[in-house]
């Protein structure tokens, strides 16, 4: 995101008129590039693989089930306040901002001004000095997160209705599958690592939400034409940040402030504080960092492997013609199917590992300060 340094509406209005004129010159070229962004079939063969690889990232266009639509709202904040548009097309018609439509990440000229922007970023086109701004727009992966939330609500709503309708009957179907996972996570993953039944029951809604949210988003990403929101490092960072706060808040509540600070010594004498405290503080942030990178890397790696295997078809077609592309496609598609089945397991494992490690971190943070209610000491 970029913004300009002007502060008066008169200057902005004048610059917007110049921007509209300058924008008209580049409008057709930009929309041609934008059409290439949403229609990979129109690209030259040698650019298709690079385009597909770039699609792993987030963008302002809704891409779902092979359908691309500019329906996501654009929300930006600059020195003049918050601006919102229904979609990128409406924003560009207004004339102050435009979507940067080039695939190049190097310096490019916008109305004579050098702009460093990536494909899909919103930039000013008023020809004034540009400075950073904030982009709060609803992006493609945010839409997938909402889809994941909706699926979770529907699944648990169905299971909840069945429990209310037949409270004494054996669970069946979705109700049985969800109950199996919930009971397994509670008794075999969360409780043994957290260490107390009381804290387990308090944090169970958080752990279950994290597990099912990650798992649902992972499996959505395996469907044809869909994207994996867990392949965005911003999303995994947000999940890890919630884990960081949960771990430390529970530690402060259960062990107390004094014990929490004492843990920063790592069990060493007080005169070792100058060495141990920095190490322990780094350790506090290493845990969420590890959660962030592990989930992001594993989910992104699977999609990169898919594209790499399929990219061999385009590569051999370019070198040896259709015969070479057809010959390697047999091997490429076979390995892709094999990797796909592995990914179905990885989707579950990554949700499981994230949940388990968070429970482990909670147990380590509480340490020896675990205490149960007298009536809940035994399972």
Most confident of 42-46, 112-116, 248-252: 248-252
Token couple for 237: 């960072």
Q: Report the mean per-residue pLDDT for the chain.
A: 78
Q: Contact, 98 vs 29, CB < 8 A?
A: no
Spatial CA neighbour of 67 closest among 32, 38, 87, 41: 38
pLDDT higher than 80, residue 9:
no
Query: Who has greater pLDDT, 134 or 175?
Result: 175
**pLDDT tens per residue, range 217-256:** 999 999 988 989 998 899 999 999 999 999 999 988 887 8
Token couple for 99: 């979507």
- pTM for this model (two decimals): 0.79
Spatial CA neighbour of 52 closest among 352, 370, 308: 308
Report the alpha-carbon distance of residue 82 to residue 100 in Å, rounded. 20
**How many residues are recorded in the chain?**
379
DSSP H helical ranges for the chain: 9-38, 45-54, 88-94, 140-165, 173-184, 191-194, 197-220, 233-255, 257-263, 273-366
Report the alpha-carbon distance of residue 181 to residue 200 in Å, rounded. 15
**pLDDT tens per residue, range 82-103:** 889 998 888 888 877 777 665 4
Q: Name the phi and psi angles at 74, rounded to 5.
A: -105, 125
Q: Is 335 helix (H, G, I), strand (E, B) or coil?
A: helix
Token couple for 111: 């109305």
Q: Name the phi and psi angles at 271, rounded to 5.
A: -75, -5
**Residue ranges per structural domain of the chain:** 2-138, 142-376
Q: Is the dihedral of CA 243, 249, 253, 258 positive or negative?
A: positive
Contacts of 187 by beta carbon, 8 Å cutoff, 6+ apart: 379
């Amino acid at each position: 995101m970029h913004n300009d340094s002007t502060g008066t509406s008169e200057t902005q209005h004048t610059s917007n008129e110049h921007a509209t004129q300058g924008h008209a010159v580049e409008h057709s070229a930009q929309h041609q590039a934008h059409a290439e962004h949403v229609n990979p079939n129109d690209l030259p063969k040698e650019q298709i693989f690079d385009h597909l690889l770039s699609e792993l990232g987030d963008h302002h266009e809704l891409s779902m089930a092979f359908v691309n639509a500019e329906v996501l709202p654009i929300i930006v904040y600059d020195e003049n306040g918050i601006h919102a548009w229904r979609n990128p097309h409406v924003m560009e018609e207004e004339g102050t901002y435009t979507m940067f439509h080039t695939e190049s990440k190097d310096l490019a000229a916008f109305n004579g001004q050098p702009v460093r922007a990536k494909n899909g970023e919103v930039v000013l086109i008023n020809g004034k000095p540009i400075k950073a701004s904030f982009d709060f727009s609803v992006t493609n992966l945010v839409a997938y997160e909402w889809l994941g939330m909706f699926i979770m609500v529907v699944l648990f709503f169905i299971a909840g209705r069945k429990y209310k309708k037949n409270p004494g009957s054996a669970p069946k179907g979705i109700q049985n599958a969800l109950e199996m996972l919930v009971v397994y996570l509670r008794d075999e993953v969360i409780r043994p690592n957290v260490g107390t039944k009381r804290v387990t029951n308090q944090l169970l809604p958080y752990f279950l939400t994290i597990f099912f949210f990650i798992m649902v988003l992972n499996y959505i990403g395996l469907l044809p034409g869909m994207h994996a929101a867990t392949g965005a490092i911003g999303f995994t960072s947000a999940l890890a940040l919630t884990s960081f706060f949960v771990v430390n808040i529970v530690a402060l509540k259960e062990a107390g402030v004094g014990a929490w600070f004492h843990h920063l010594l790592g069990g060493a004498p007080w005169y070792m504080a100058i060495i141990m405290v920095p190490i322990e503080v780094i350790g506090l942030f290493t845990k969420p960092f590890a959660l962030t990178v592990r989930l992001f890397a594993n989910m992104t790696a699977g999609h990169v492997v898919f594209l790499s295997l399929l990219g061999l078809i385009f590569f051999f077609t370019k070198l040896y013609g259709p015969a070479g592309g057809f010959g390697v496609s047999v091997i490429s598609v076979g390995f892709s199917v094999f990797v796909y089945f592995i990914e179905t397991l990885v989707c579950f494992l990554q949700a499981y590992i994230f949940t388990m490690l968070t429970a482990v971190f909670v147990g380590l943070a509480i340490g020896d300060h675990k205490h149960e209610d007298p009536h809940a000491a035994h399972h």
